Amino acid sequence: MKNLKLGIIGQPLTHTLSPILHAQIMHQMDIDGVYCKYPLEHDQLRETLQQLGQEGVRGLNVTIPHKVAVMGLMDWLSIEARLAGAVNTIVFDPDTSQPGNCQTKGHNTDIAGFARSLPPAIVNRLPQMNLLIIGAGGSARAVLTALIQQGATQITFAVRSPEKMVRLISDAEIMKQTFNSQCQIKTSPLLFMPNLNEFEGVINTTPVGMWPHTDSSPLSLSQIETLPKKAFIYDLIYRPTETQLLSQARSQGLQTFNGLDMLIYQGICSFELWQDRPVPASLLSSLRQQLTQAMQHIID
């Protein structure tokens, strides 16, 4: 008998690494459970969520394309889910006022996942750093929330569609109020940034360079060459583990990070919400290893 019932909703779910991640966490924490894939169309969401809650499912991850749509189906939303404008984790809690029913709680663990993936040496320097975020989609919103929460004071967005920044800039005001931040936020068209020498940290939140389009990069080599030697580059992409952007940055001697730790930490944060207890930090290296191996299979 399996005790813990978990899963993921999205469409398609062919390449998701979450089942492997959570199976490993359960295995290593000696928890008897299952993590199932539920590929769903939009019009199946409401009914299926109700059904899964009644079947005793404890929680779900939510992925593309349902992260925004499920917000309207939740009984309760965390402050992070509201700020990120997306839910990636659902917790089914028993409804004490109506026995047999469930309350659906929507969370966003991409914010904490990104924050926990940053090394303490970088977090400590965030207030002094001038940061560049490339892209302004869903993950950029989570990254922005995390950076404001962690004390960043200067952030520039490099985007190809500046008109899409209007909403994000206005939502950033709510993020700043929430975390009592004075962070200055600017926007710049990416193509018109030949010189990046003022930035000590660059975070790519676009899919540019993601497998199978691995020979593309959101920055040219000549742009990378203008970055200061102490700068770091963080690419949210984890497939491949080293994008062209990271490879060129590393060849310039810059510190580089891929999106694997963010992926792992957002999963760990989800699991901690479902189980209400911490996942031991000692699991991190084996989770990295397992996911890297699994990705190799998918790419091959």
The nearer residue to ligand NAP, 102 or 159, going by C-beta atoms, is: 159
Radius of gyration of the chain (CA): 19
Q: Can you tell me which of 71, 115, 148, 262 binds ligand NAP, judged by CB under 6 A?
A: 262
Q: Are 264 and 291 in contact (CB under 8 A)?
A: yes
For 193, the token pair is: 């940034």
Chain position whose Cβ is nearest to ligand NAP: 137
Binding mask 208-237 for ligand NAP (x = CB under 6 A): x-x-------x-----------------xx
**CB burial class (10 A; 0-12, 13-18, 19+) of residue 179?**
middle
Does 267 sit near ligand NAP (CB under 6 A)? no
Distances (CA, A) of 24 to 78, 116, 188, 213: 27, 19, 42, 29
Q: Segment near ligand NAP (CB under 6 A), from 8-16, 34-42, 199-207, 245-253?
A: 199-207
Q: Which of 2, 67, 105, 176 is catalytic?
A: 67
CA angle 276, 289, 111 (to 5 degrees): 45
67 is catalytic: yes
Q: Least distance (Å) from ligand NAP to the CB of residue 274? A: 18
Torsion of CA 11, 14, 20, 22, to 10 degrees: 10
Residue found under tokens 């109506």: 98
Does 136 sit near ligand NAP (CB under 6 A)? yes
Q: Least distance (Å) from ligand NAP to the CB of residue 155? A: 15
For 222, the token pair is: 């000549």
Does 295 sit near ligand NAP (CB under 6 A)? no
Binding mask 96-135 for ligand NAP (x = CB under 6 A): --------------x--x---------------------x
Does 207 sit near ligand NAP (CB under 6 A)? yes
Phi/psi of residue 140, nearest 5 degrees: -60, -35
CA dist 239 and 221 (Å) reads 21
Q: Which residues bind ligand NAP (CB under 6 A)?
A: 110, 113, 135-140, 159-161, 164, 205-208, 210, 218, 236-238, 259, 262-263, 266
**Residues with catalytic function:** 67
